[in-house]
Amino acid sequence: MSDASLPKAIGNHLRIAVAQFNPTVGDIAGNTALVRDARKQAAVSGAHLVLCPELNLCGYPPEDLVLKAAFVSRCREAVEELARETADGGPGLIVGAPWRGEDGGLYNAAMLLDAGEIRAIRYKADLPNYGVFDEKRVFEAGPLPGPVDFRGVRIGVPICEDIWNEDVCECLSETGAEILLVPNGSPYWANRAEERLQVVVARVVETGLPLVYCNQIGGQDELVFDGGSFGLQADRSLAFQMPQFESDFAITDWSRGDNGAWSCTDGPKVKLPDLDEANWRACVLGLRDYVLKNRFPGVVLGLSGGIDSAICAVMAVDALGADKVHAIMLPYQYTSDESKTDAAACADALGIRYDTVPIVEPVEGFTAALAPLFRETQADTTEENLQSRARGVVLMAVSNKFGHMVMTTGNKSEMSVGYATLYGDMNGGYNPIKDLYKTQVYHLSGWRNRNRPGGLLGPAGEVIPQNIISKVPTAELRENQTDQDSLPPYEVLDDILECLVEEEMSVAGIEKRGHDRALIQRIEHLLYIAEYKRRQAPPGVKITMRNFGKDRRYPITNRFRDR
């Protein structure tokens, strides 16, 4: 297309639509439809340009899918289809997709589409390779980019990690960018929104340019993307703030002053949730999208009368609605009447289906079958674990019969030290509290009883009976058992675990915090030997800086101990 046929220059006014939506990895057609919907909405609002999140056409992170030539080709076709559609004179688009360059390299790319063409392609220069990110495994780093011209405005398009260091934005500023538009696939963890804001402020200060930060939302396996897109003026003041944990669409109006600098008309500034609400919403969104995107009709879980299964049941109802949650009490001779009462009360408060399936016969059947092998041995945790595994068999049978996903309900404290039964209570497809320590589970349970944020599907009020929160925790696998028979108080355990897992502190360093050295060494040992269990655990929502998944990669076979 010749320059004469390009749309007229915008002049001193630019209307940008920010599309914060929920893509699905691999659903190229569905993700393309989301872009089309956003463009239609932008056209109605008179927008000139639509900014979409990082790699939005394929979904983020695509992981090794981008190593399949057919996948990359289909993404390219989607980009070309959208480019042709911009020949209608409507809004331009900034979209993201994996892109095979002329040099044969595979890049994480952002494309500017306008006037029926792919007007420019920009490659991500700074590839993250830490924590949950390993983009260097599949992508090549692009060169430091220059700005792209959009209808007479020179726009810098750094991609996500490109703004976490100064080089890319500095290069864009020095080569004439007037405004920075940043597509992002930035996952949630606690206090992440404030961390992003500080990074963006630093780039604005360094470049003197306004910046629009567009992030995706939605769950993708263990990651939750929380949105929270926003814009900063060149003076670092907040121009607009979009919500976290929900799809949204914002129209932003920009004007170029006499000095050539762009500023945004103040837009809505949504108040972001506090840490408790953010953590809760992350767990709910991660569970919801895992169930819906994998097309399960609902979930089933064992409701024991304990706090872990209770909070998971509430999260499931908040995510999916009561009609898609099935709770089953699976009592044995050690299950107390108190637990049965508490479980029934929780199910009643949530309005979910609740059934009782005793496991006496399955456990006795296993015991009888194993009796010849176990002759002349003493009963121990083997027999206790038969109870948990019998429960797992029942739940998996219900899942097989009706298609519902089994929810796993173990917290991070228990998963850290292996206080869980492989092929028993670890059975399942997804665990929303996998990255919450037991003390956090207690805290959030009380918080949810006092709060019901908007948009959730569960009821308000006391959805977790107070007795579940206040009673002594127990697995009820033997008479008069409590968790503290095997573990220190959770306040002590969780502090030691945070030091070992999140901070990688030495035993000596943790001892200086006032903990007993022998206890620290015991917890460290339990942490290491439970690695084989964690490798077989289902995925769950990332909440902390270091979840048990891609964040923390320890060997199973490991004789090191910090002595």
Summarize pLDDT for 268-305 with one digit per residue, the tens.
Answer: 999 999 999 999 999 999 999 999 999 999 999 999 99
Query: Does residue 7 register a pLDDT over 60?
Result: no
Residues 151-168: what's their mean pLDDT?
96
| Cα–Cα distance for residue pair 239/63, rounded to 1 Å | 34
Q: Could you say which of 58, 160, 264, 499 is catalytic? A: 160
- Give tens-digit pLDDT for 437-465: 999 999 999 999 999 999 999 999 999 99
Q: Which pLDDT value is given to residue 142? A: 96
Residue ranges, CATH 3.60.110.10, the chain:
13-261
Token pair in block for residue 96: 């993201």
DSSP character at residue 407: B
Q: Is the peptide bond before 61 cis (omega within 30 degrees of 0)?
A: yes
Pairing of strands 299-302, 405-406: parallel
Fold of 13-261: Nitrilase/N-carbamoyl-D-aminoacid amidohydrolase (3.60.110)
Check residue 18 and give its pLDDT.
Answer: 98
- pLDDT at residue 476, rounded to an integer: 64
| Polymer length of the chain | 563
pLDDT of residue 410: 95
Tell me if residue 80 is catalytic.
no
Please, which pLDDT band fits residue 480 given cuts at 50, 70 and 90?
confident
Quick: pLDDT tens for 161-176: 999 999 999 999 999 9
Question: Among this protein's residues, is 160 annotated catalytic?
Answer: yes
Tokens for 23, please give them: 């893509």
For the chain, give every residue range classified as CATH 3.40.50.620: 277-535
The tokens 């003197």 sit on which residue? 208
pLDDT tens digits, 379-401:
999 999 999 999 999 999 999 99
Query: Where does 277-535 sit in CATH, by number?
Result: 3.40.50.620
User: Sign of dihedral through CA atoms 456, 457, 462, 463?
Assistant: negative
Q: Which of 52, 124, 178, 293 is catalytic?
A: 124
**How far, in Å, CA of 411 to CA of 307, rounded?**
10
Could you give the strand order of the β-sheet that contains 325-329, starting from the edge strand earlier in sequence?
Answer: 353-356, 325-329, 299-302, 405-406
102 is catalytic: no
Q: What percent of the chain has pLDDT over 70?
A: 98
Percentage with pLDDT > 90 across the chain: 92
Beta-sheet strands, E only, within 35-83 = 49-51
When computed from its CA atoms, the radius of gyration of the chain, rounded to whole angstroms, is: 26
Mean pLDDT of the chain: 95
Over residues 203-260, the pLDDT tens digits come to: 999 999 999 999 999 999 999 999 999 999 999 999 999 999 999 999 999 999 988 8
Two tokens, residue 337: 């009447």
